[in-house]
Amino acid sequence: MQKFNKIKQVLAIVVIAAASYLTVAIAVKYHRLKGPASILSDLPKNIDLSLKKVHYTNTKDGTLQWDLLAQKVDYFNDSGVIRFTQAEMVLFGSGGPEKYTLVADTADYLKKTGDVKLAGNITATNAAGMTFSTGHLQFDSARSLVSTDDQVRLVDASLSVEGRGMELSLDTKKLRVLHNVTAVIQTRKK
């Protein structure tokens, strides 16, 4: 009988020790969690909403106009701007399956107009292999027009064009380099 009482005492001590350990572990973990106030204090004061890894799609009259993937999105309610950081934007023209993929450091979507302003290390490609690069770019939603007044460089198969300013109509698929144009055409060797 004494042996049975000793086993009960040992089990009681083990149960009390385990319960104490769990209580301390939960208290330590809960104490380390940030409260809502400390999480909000980490955000800049002018940002109303911040999200990570976002896929944003825009349609116009039931037709897909563009898709945007970003590592981070900040929503500024006062100015009506949604800023996408490390953005990849895919633009679709209304005249067929042609699409253009633009990669930029940031893309600002202006809610009022539906326009998008891209900035920083912009590169763009299409399915045909044409690429261009520039420092900043604007997509005019109403006119389906991509434009810049910055320096631009285009490369397409055997053609390389550099200049200042560019306009690309997604509907007509016409591209114009506006000023100080230099073009190099490589001919095939026979």
Pick the more confident residue, 97 or 127. Answer: 127
On the question of pLDDT at 30 being above 70, the answer is no
Task: Compute the distance between CA of residue 187 and CA of residue 190 in angstroms, rounded to an integer.
Answer: 9
Do 88 and 69 contact (CB within 8 A), yes or no? yes
Q: What is the pLDDT of residue 161?
A: 92
Q: What is the pLDDT of residue 19?
A: 81
Residue 3 pLDDT class (50, 70, 90 cuts): low
Do 120 and 108 contact (CB within 8 A), yes or no? no
On the question of pLDDT at 4 being above 70, the answer is no
Task: Compute the distance between CA of residue 190 and CA of residue 180 in angstroms, rounded to an integer.
Answer: 32
Measured between alpha carbons, how far is residue 106 from residues 68, 81, 158, 167, 169 in Å? 11, 12, 31, 20, 22
Domain residue extents for the chain = 1-33, 46-185
Mean pLDDT within 91-106: 82
Mean pLDDT within 22-47: 63
Residue 110 pLDDT class (50, 70, 90 cuts): very high
Q: What is the pLDDT of residue 147?
A: 95
**From the CB of residue 83, how many other CB atoms can be counted at a distance below 10 Å?**
19
On the question of pLDDT at 34 being above 90, the answer is no
Answer whether CATH 3.30.1330.80 is correct for domain 46-185.
no
On the question of pLDDT at 22 being above 70, the answer is yes
On the question of pLDDT at 33 being above 90, the answer is no
> pLDDT tens for residues 132-176?
999 999 999 888 899 999 999 999 888 899 999 999 998 888 889
Residue 13 pLDDT class (50, 70, 90 cuts): confident
Q: What is the pLDDT of residue 40?
A: 54
On the question of pLDDT at 188 being above 80, the answer is no
